[in-house]
Amino acid sequence: MRKSFGFDLDNTLIDYSAAVEEYCRIKTLITCTNIGMLREQLRKNNESDHEWQLAQGWIYTEGLKFAQVGLGSVDLCKYLIQEGYQLFIVSHKTSHTPDFCGNTPLHDLANNWIKKSVISDYFKETEQIYYEPTRELKVKRIRELALNYFVDDLEEVFKESEFPINTKSFLIYKSSSQNSKIKCVGDFSDIKEILANGF
* Weakest-pLDDT range from 9-18, 43-52, 82-91: 43-52
pLDDT at 1: 67
From-to residues of CATH 3.40.50.1000 in the chain: 3-15+69-196
Q: Are 168 and 149 in contact (CB under 8 A)?
A: yes
Average pLDDT of span 50-64: 94
Rounded percentage of the chain residues whose pLDDT exceeds 70: 99
> What is 3-15+69-196's CATH topology?
Rossmann fold (3.40.50)
CA distance 175 to 185: 7
Query: Model-level pTM?
Result: 0.93
Distances 4 to 1, 23, 68, 80, 189 between C-alpha atoms, Å: 10, 36, 24, 9, 18
Q: Are 188 and 76 in contact (CB under 8 A)?
A: yes
What is the pLDDT confidence band of residue 46, given thresholds at 50, 70 and 90?
Answer: confident
CA distance 27 to 37: 15
Task: Give the mean pLDDT of the chain.
Answer: 94
Q: Are 9 and 110 in contact (CB under 8 A)?
A: yes
